[in-house]
Amino acid sequence: MAEMGSELELRGVGVSSGVVIGPAFLLTPADVRIVERSLTPEEVPREIVRLEEALITTRGQLREIQRRVERALDRHSASIFDAHLLVVDDRAFIEEVIRGVQSRHINVEAVLHEVARRYADTLAQMDDEYLRERAADVRDVARRILMNLAGHPMSDLGSLTEPRVIVAPDLSPSDTATMSRERVLALITDLGSPTSHTAIMARAFEIPAVVGLRDASQRISNGDLVLVDGQAGRVIVRPSSATRERYKRIARARECVRDRLQTLRDLPARTRDGYEVVLSANIELPRDVDAALRHGARGIGLFRSEFLYLAQPTLPDEFEQAQAYEEVARRVAPAPVIIRTLDLGGDKFASSVQMPNEVNPYLGWRAIRFCLAQPELFRTQLRAILRASAARNVKIMYPMISNVEEVNQANALLERAKQELAADGVEFDPQIEVGIMIEVPSAALVASQLATRVRFFSIGTNDLIQYTLAVDRVNAQVTYLYEPTHPAILRLLRQTIEAARRAGIWTGVCGEMGGQAVLAPLLVGLGIDELSVSPAVIPLVKEVIRSMTYSECEALAARALELERGTEVLAACRALTEQRCPEIVEYLG
Ligand code: PEP
Ligand code: MG
């Protein structure tokens, strides 16, 4: 390890570009180790005082969070913390902890942990759903009190008051869903991979991010000055003034390229010989529409609707959802917005939705599987999407389809939702286009059957690659095997596109592969109609497409399909892109 005070360079995987420098903020997991300790009789009163002090601190923190959530969201969302405050003020619970300390002469942490667990377990077994949900409140509050007893207040990204570089072992999508773009300068994590939802969120926020740094959170201290190069995947701790100057120059050069690309904003993504691709944006929350429009997106090709659920502690109801969808549809009109129905599970878990702990969540009760098993929850979302479709520019897309039956079932529920709304006299688009994500290999293999039931396909390469190559997309250990250009992936892409063409429907790509500018000629050559990418990479992808002819893209795809290795395919793509737009290849590093 480098000496204190000297420059230290760490290398990981750059997942969101940009260069920033700022003080580190260490976000540690909120787990506390409970050690039982005996007390002398004289120590008991002091222990009770410690408990009362921790309760006062906890109450203050909860009120502050509640105020923040109310300001950021609304009163209703903030009301979840009323239940947490009730736990802190529950005298029966507190008295039981005090009695335990007095009678057993052991430290308050050990007693509190035990009493809270008993309370939570009892509540979790109640018939009444409301009481069952209170179990999570008891656990959460107990953890917060324990952190305060240990003198490590629980930190969360929403509570930052100054701009900071966030350093963490790992971040969950719910951590990032509530972060503030103004105060989070960059994200750096020990774990993670380019297609984890944390990385996707960082790109949406245009916040530089480096993941897979292994032990960064142990080598960086709170307050250390950190320089992050999100493109090169480099983190420099305590950079010297020479390093800072060098990076200032790099940042300025990249800025110039970006400024020039910005002039393409209103131009189509059309090859030199006239083949036009629809270049649209992926968004997680309605506020991301700003970036999509700023970078010239032709509509929203993927609205990951589950982030509405992740960003708040309570379930968004039909009207809240409809409002969010309508806002996006109105702002991008007349261009379309494709709303993907709830894709919870995998690495996305919302506190408002109960899901079981699974050994293999990516292969488990995720996305459409979960929605079909929870028809009420799904119905609410379908009705909300239909409400937002009145202006005729909303499309609906089901995630993680693996067979025709799932499409039939989802469509049947959609039809029922339409009938209900029609009976209520609510206006909606009766011809709303329905599409599916092709992200499970079985779906790609039966694409011709699926194509007769829907109006479009959008290939989710993030999952398609993970399921085809058996590579967990969030496991940094196997990132080296995660290869978008693997011959197996190219074959599945080609097969899907051909099946769609035969059925007369269109195909898009909305996985991160589409945002890799050097791969754009390959996807165009394979016959893709639409590419939906993170807003910030739209200008790069557009520049590459505009510098090619369709026939050279086709030739590239034909050659790529004959190669045996993903590395060879990638090299061929890079070579062509470098020939046509060297500046972009240099920019990408
Ligand atoms: C995908 O799998 O490629 C995709 C776009 O969906 P998500 O990344 O949200 O799983
Ligand atoms: Mg997916």
Q: Confirm whether 213 is domain-assigned.
A: yes
Enumerate residues lining ligand 1, CB below 6 A: 302, 304, 343, 439, 460-463, 510-511
Mutate to test the pocket of ligand 1, among 349, 368, 510 (most ligand atoms within 8 A of CB): 510
Q: Which of 425, 436, 448 is closest to 395 using CA atoms? A: 436
Atom 6 (ligand 1) nearest CA: 460
| Residue at which a domain ends, from 94, 128, 150 | 150
Q: Which helix (H) or strand (E) holds 507?
A: strand 506-509
The separation between the first and the last C-alpha atoms of the chain, rounded to the nearest angstrom, is 28
What is the domain count for the chain?
Answer: 3
Measure 373 CA to ligand 2 centroid, in angstroms.
19
Quickly list DSSP for 32-95. Answer: ------B--TTHHHHHHHHHHHHHHHHHHHHHHHHHHHHHHS-HHHHTHHHHHHHHHT-HHHHH
Match 């983190």 to its residue by tokens.
235
**Overall average pLDDT of the 123-134 stretch:** 77
| Residue at which a domain ends, from 97, 118, 150 | 150
For 284, phi then psi, to 5°, come to -110, -35
Q: Which helix (H) or strand (E) holds 190?
A: none
Q: Which of 496, 491, 396 is closest to 443 using CA atoms? A: 496
DSSP character at residue 437: E
- Residue 69 has what pLDDT? 56
DSSP character at residue 3: P
Segment 441-464, tens digit of pLDDT: 999 999 999 999 999 999 999 999
Residues 224 and 326 in one domain: no
- The mean-pLDDT minimum among 154-158, 182-186, 583-587 falls in 154-158
Residues 78 and 166 in one domain: no
For 461, phi then psi, to 5°, come to -65, -25
Distance, CA of 293 to CA of 228 (rounded, Å): 27
Segment 482-534, tens digit of pLDDT: 999 999 999 999 999 999 999 999 999 999 999 999 999 999 999 999 999 99
Let me know: does 267 contact 476? Beta carbons within 8 Å. no
Range of the domain at 172: 8-30+156-239
- The mean-pLDDT minimum among 33-42, 99-108, 132-141, 284-293 falls in 132-141
Q: Which residues, in sequence order, are bridge partners of residue 106?
A: 38
Q: Distances from the Cα of 180 to the Cαs of 20, 23, 159, 369, 505, in angstroms?
A: 16, 16, 9, 32, 40
Measure 398 CA to ligand 2 centroid, in angstroms.
10
Q: Is the peptide bond before 316 cis (omega within 30 degrees of 0)?
A: no
Output the domain CATH number for residue 482: 3.20.20.60
Inform me whether the pLDDT recorded for 124 exceeds 90. no
Residues 481 and 461 in one domain: yes
**Overall average pLDDT of the 32-48 stretch:** 85
Q: Confirm whether 500 is domain-assigned.
A: yes
User: In this structure, how many other beta carbons lie within 10 angstroms of the beta carbon of residue 378?
Assistant: 22
**Overall average pLDDT of the 209-217 stretch:** 91
pTM over 0.85: no
Segment 534-548, tens digit of pLDDT: 999 999 999 999 999
Instruction: Label residue 470 left, alpha or beta by phi (over 0 means left) and psi (-120 to 50 means alpha).
Output: left
Mutate to test the pocket of ligand 1, among 195, 306, 363, 368 (most ligand atoms within 8 A of CB): 195
**Nearest ligand 1 atom, CA 399:** 6
Decide the pairing of beta strands 8-11 and 209-211. unpaired
Q: Answer with the residue of higher pLDDT: 303 or 215.
A: 303
Residues 477 and 333 in one domain: yes
Inform me whether the pLDDT recorded for 573 exceeds 90. yes
Q: How far is CA 362 from the centre of its chain?
A: 14
- The mean-pLDDT minimum among 115-119, 150-154, 290-294, 339-343 falls in 150-154
- The mean-pLDDT minimum among 36-50, 64-78, 80-94, 183-197 falls in 64-78
Q: List the catalytic residues.
A: 197, 510
For 189, phi then psi, to 5°, come to -135, 155
Distance, CA of 581 to CA of 545 (rounded, Å): 10
Query: Cα-atom radius of gyration of the chain, to the nearest Å?
Result: 26
**Overall average pLDDT of the 323-345 stretch:** 97
Measure 146 CA to ligand 2 centroid, in angstroms.
37
- Residue 513 has what pLDDT? 97
Residues 199 and 138 in one domain: no
**Overall average pLDDT of the 45-65 stretch:** 87
- The mean-pLDDT minimum among 62-76, 126-140, 300-314 falls in 62-76
Segment 161-209, tens digit of pLDDT: 789 999 988 887 766 766 778 899 999 999 888 888 778 888 988 999 9
Residues 45 and 12 in one domain: no
Q: Which residues, in sequence order, are bridge partners of residue 531?
A: 279, 509
Residues 103 and 135 in one domain: yes
Output the domain CATH number for residue 187: 3.50.30.10
pLDDT band at 3, cuts 50/70/90? very low
Torsion sign, CA atoms 352, 354, 359, 365: negative
DSSP character at residue 181: T
Let me know: does 444 contact 507? Beta carbons within 8 Å. no
Residues 23 and 47 in one domain: no
Q: Which of 430, 565, 457, 567 is closest to 511 using CA atoms? A: 457
- Residue 80 has what pLDDT? 65
Let me know: does 427 contact 418? Beta carbons within 8 Å. no
Residues 216 and 133 in one domain: no
Distance, CA of 378 to CA of 343 (rounded, Å): 11
Residues 342 and 454 in one domain: yes
Atom 1 (ligand 1) nearest CA: 460
Measure 412 CA to ligand 2 centroid, in angstroms.
23
Residues 310 and 199 in one domain: no
Surrounding ion ligand 2 within 5 Å at CB are 439, 460, 463
**Nearest ligand 1 atom, CA 463:** 2
Let me know: does 283 contact 328? Beta carbons within 8 Å. yes
Measure 304 CA to ligand 1 centroid, in angstroms.
9
Output the domain CATH number for residue 140: 1.10.274.10
Q: Which of 169, 288, 273 is closest to 538 using CA atoms? A: 288
Cβ-proximal residues to 117 (8 Å cutoff; 6+ apart), any chain: 142
Segment 381-403, tens digit of pLDDT: 999 999 999 999 999 999 999 99
Mutate to test the pocket of ligand 1, among 303, 307, 308, 437 (most ligand atoms within 8 A of CB): 437
Q: Which of 84, 35, 91, 39 is closest to 63 using CA atoms? A: 84
Decide the pairing of beta strands 337-340 and 394-398. parallel
**Nearest ligand 1 atom, CA 510:** 5
**Nearest ligand 1 atom, CA 197:** 8
Q: Which of 491, 452, 488 is closest to 470 using CA atoms? A: 488
Distance, CA of 387 to CA of 432 (rounded, Å): 11
Q: Distances from the Cα of 322 to the Cαs of 67, 301, 325, in angstroms?
A: 25, 18, 5
Segment 301-312, tens digit of pLDDT: 999 999 998 877
pLDDT band at 77, cuts 50/70/90? low
**Overall average pLDDT of the 96-106 stretch:** 94
- Residue 304 has what pLDDT? 97
Q: Confirm whether 189 is domain-assigned.
A: yes
Measure 171 CA to ligand 1 centroid, in angstroms.
18
- Residue 548 has what pLDDT? 97
| Residue at which a domain ends, from 219, 239, 259 | 239
Q: Which helix (H) or strand (E) holds 467?
A: helix 461-469
User: In this structure, how many other beta carbons lie within 10 angstroms of the beta carbon of residue 128?
Assistant: 9
Ligand in nearest proximity to the CA of 513: 1
Segment 220-260, tens digit of pLDDT: 988 899 999 999 999 999 999 999 999 999 899 889 999 99
**Overall average pLDDT of the 95-108 stretch:** 94
- Residue 158 has what pLDDT? 67
Residues 207 and 332 in one domain: no
Mean pLDDT of the chain: 91
